Amino acid sequence: MIQDTISREAARRYYDRLGTYQDWAGHFEGRAKTRALDLLAPPPGCRVLNVGVGTGKEHVQIEAAVAPGGVAVGLDVSPVMLRLTRARTGTPVCLGDARRLPYANASFDYLFAAYVLDLLPAPDLAGLLHDFRRVLAPGGRLVLVTLTEGVTRPSRAIIALWKLLYAISPEGCGGCRPLQLTDLVGQAGFRLARREVVVQWGVPSEIIVAENRS
Ligand SMILES: C[S@@+](CC[C@H](N)C(=O)[O-])C[C@H]1O[C@@H](n2cnc3c(N)ncnc32)[C@H](O)[C@@H]1O
């Protein structure tokens, strides 16, 4: 696994600049996110935290699913991304870091994070997953989507090329590199319910569904 990634400030700058162009990634991430939202399936009335909410494209669907009576909160490190989410939704948004969630224990029933953990430094991931578990209620559901290792010949070739580009310029790849998260999720005290890999245009994405055991 590649260990390095970009700093929080570099990520903020990158995603502030990227703005609505982030939605273009839907061409190779869209299918995995649609599947992940199906697996999240938050019912009306529940509380959802969407970490690294981005432009709010998926958040619109989460907001609709929890109505009436629920709340869908979007957190992001990029003020531009939060502005785009606010323009699309009426939900609360929060400028913050995925690694230091500003919420009390058991504040949410569901936590969704798509293509965020793959931007963060490997040494931060164990602590981050413990914090995700802390803010989830007992029995709460975690759904993660990340770039992952290839599972077919084309996807293995694309990931090999991606790693080459990443080695030259992590910033050029938006800090994103492939991850495999099942072990870390288990070590953080979650019960792994499901793992799937979705490949779109040769790009492999891992979907993890886990439950907070505490
Ligand atoms: C690849 S985009 C994914 C956005 C959205 N989840 C999606 O799937 O379209 C990554 C998002 O994570 C945000 N981000 C990056 N580092 C972060 C951090 N440390 N804490 C919270 N959000 C972060 C970026 O600003 C960006 O909006």
Nearest CA to ligand 1 atom 19: 97
User: pTM for the whole thing?
Assistant: 0.95
Q: Does residue 170 surpass a pLDDT of 90?
A: no
170 against 135, higher pLDDT: 135
CA 53 to centroid of ligand 1, rounded, Å: 6
| pLDDT(2) > 50 | no
CATH 3.30.70.360 is right for the domain spanning 8-212: no
Q: What is the pLDDT of residues 93-134, one digit of tens each?
A: 999 999 999 999 999 999 999 999 999 999 999 999 999 999
Q: How far is the CA of 152 from the centre of ligand 1 (A)?
A: 27
What's the average model confidence in pLDDT over 2-30?
83
At 179-207, the pLDDT tens digits run 999 999 999 999 999 999 999 999 999 99
**CA 65 from centroid of its chain's CA atoms:** 18
Q: Which of 46 and 21 is assigned the larger pLDDT?
A: 46
How far, CA to CA in Å, does 39 sit from each of 4, 17, 111?
30, 31, 12
3-state SS, residue 144: strand
Domain ranges for the chain, please list them.
8-212
* Residues 201/207/11/111 CA torsion (nearest 10 deg): 140
Which residue minimizes the CA distance to atom 12 of ligand 1? 52
User: DSSP letter string over 97-108?
Assistant: -TTS--S-TT-E
